[in-house]
Amino acid sequence: MSKVVVGMIVLNEEDYLRYCLESFYNIVDKIIIVEGAEHSSHFAASPEGLSTDKTPEIIRSFEEQPEHKIVWIRKGFVDHQRELRQECLKHVDPDTDIFFCPDGDEVYDEKELKEAFQHIMDHGEIHRVALDHILFCEDFSHVKYDLDLCITAESGMSMLRLYRHFPDAVIENGLHIALKEGYKDVRFHLTNIYHLGWVRSEERLIKKMLWTIKRHHDRNTDEYLDLKGFSDEQIIEWIKKENYPVNPQKRYNLYKYNGKYPASVLNAIKSRIPLYFPPDGEARPWFHITAIDYLRNYLKPYMNILEFGAGNSTVWFSPRVKRIVSLEHDQKFADYVAANNLDNVEMNVLPRPYNGFVNNIPDQSFDFILIDGRDRNECAMSAFKKLKVGSLLAWDDAERAEYKEGVNFLLSNGYELVEKCFETLMFRRVK
């Protein structure tokens, strides 16, 4: 049985900290929480460098649990965040196997995490593990800075969260633990970071955006130089003018707008149904905004489409096209679509793979195909002739290593890559 210790840095985390801790509390052995702030964030902290919201109350409620898993260190001000992470390491037991470093606005699935823990224990050469990163909101800070934290630019949205523990581990390269000689980084696709994105209210969002901008000013970075010297009121006015909190192109916050938080978050993770409602109230595919915009411009009311994997994409496609043939192996996704009473959807709940069903479809039957379910290589190979010449096929997460075979098959059989929308690739059938 592996011993897992959690190390967290927190400051003003009241919005999601409770749900973060609940999501892994039962499957770890110890949770080290270091509360503190850099001196450059003094305007966001108490005079002692600690939280000014309900973060301490939330931690205390877990500290009082009978299992006594919480070690709470109120560190206060430091020169750099790495000192807070190093403080975590000081309290990790020598017999620890895995060190897990989540942020306070992330939620995890227990089963997925267990798989990642087991993967580390089964592969002795692994030191650091990056997990796939699902971001529930986009604002002026997330995405841009999250991409900077990827192992490589090519690896896409993944972030280092799990480490094989070594007693002499040190913090280097920002907040990451230095890679040990002879060990390697890996990306584990079966476990996701469900990143909720800071805050649940527009007021709190504006406040945190103000803090971030002022922090850049205190650090004399090149960010937001045109706002330097402005008063807090003037910066807030600029934030509101830019519409970061409410513009659906820049921010999605399902927790505020669907009125079902937090149950919707936890149910979405457990059922794998992305209950993704931006400010206009419309369910959307679980793609990056660039892919959604691309498809919005492509899809037309006369089109017939084939979809591998049902869900929010089905609901979003329905008013935009003539007919949808959707293939799904999981009844709960089919039930979710059925609850929306969509007259133009032909839902087929079938055992995987779907080759038998697809083989009976006449060639060149569809104006668009989406590959976003299980067995994606098999889906591409069975359906490539079912798309009309000149039409579009979208493949979500197509740049993952396990889908290389299917992507190469398309490119060798009359398809060309026409657009990369983060991890969703757009292919056109040219012959």
Give 367-378 pLDDT, tens digit per residue: 999 998 889 999
Q: How many domains does the chain have?
A: 3
**281 falls within a domain:** no
Task: Tell whether 60 and 188 lie within a shared domain.
Answer: yes
CATH number assigned to the domain comprising residue 417: 3.40.50.150
Expressed as residue numbers, the domain containing 111 is: 4-195
Whether residue 190 sits in one domain with residue 119:
yes
**Same domain assignment for residues 30 and 177:** yes
Give the mean pLDDT of 360-367. 96
Could you tell me if 62 and 114 lie in one domain? yes
- Mean pLDDT of the region 340-363: 93
* Short-list 12, 230, 171, 219, CA closest to 105: 12
pLDDT at 218 over 80: no
Sheet holding 304-308, edge to edge: 345-349, 323-328, 304-308, 366-371, 387-396, 424-429, 415-421
Q: In terms of C-beta density within 10 A (0-12 exposed, 13-18 middle, 19 or more buried), how is residue 134 classed?
A: middle
Examine the pLDDT at 88 and tell me if it is beyond 70: yes
Q: Is the pLDDT of residue 91 over 90?
A: yes
Residue 322 inside a domain? The answer is yes
Q: Does residue 402 lie within any of the structural domains?
A: yes
**In the chain, % of residues over pLDDT 90:** 46
Could you tell me if 138 and 245 lie in one domain?
A: no
Residue 151 sits in the same domain as residue 170: yes
- If asked whether residues 148 and 227 sit together in one domain, one would say no
* 283 assigned to some structural domain: no
Tell me: the pLDDT tens digits for 115-131? 999 999 999 999 999 88
Q: Does one domain contain both 8 and 100?
A: yes
Q: Is residue 265 in some structural domain?
A: no
- Is pTM beyond 0.75? Reply is no
Residue 144's closest CA among 243, 212, 190? 212
CA-wise closest residue to 139 among 212, 70, 77, 193:
212
Bond from prior residue into 351 cis (ω within 30 degrees of 0): no
User: In terms of residues, how long is the chain?
Assistant: 431
* Domain match, 182 and 221 both: no
Q: Which residues contact 329 (CB under 8 A, 6 or more apart)?
A: 349, 350, 351, 352, 373, 374
Q: Answer yes or no: is pLDDT of 407 > 90.
A: yes
Which of 195, 213, 235 is the last residue before a domain boundary? 195
Q: Which helix (H) or strand (E) holds 290?
A: helix 289-298
Of 25, 46, 179, 210, nearest to 102 by C-alpha is 25
For residue 267, is it within any domain? Answer: no
27 and 66 in a common domain = yes
Residues 146 and 209 in one domain: no
35 and 179: one domain?
yes
- The residue out of 156, 176, 195 marking a domain boundary is 195
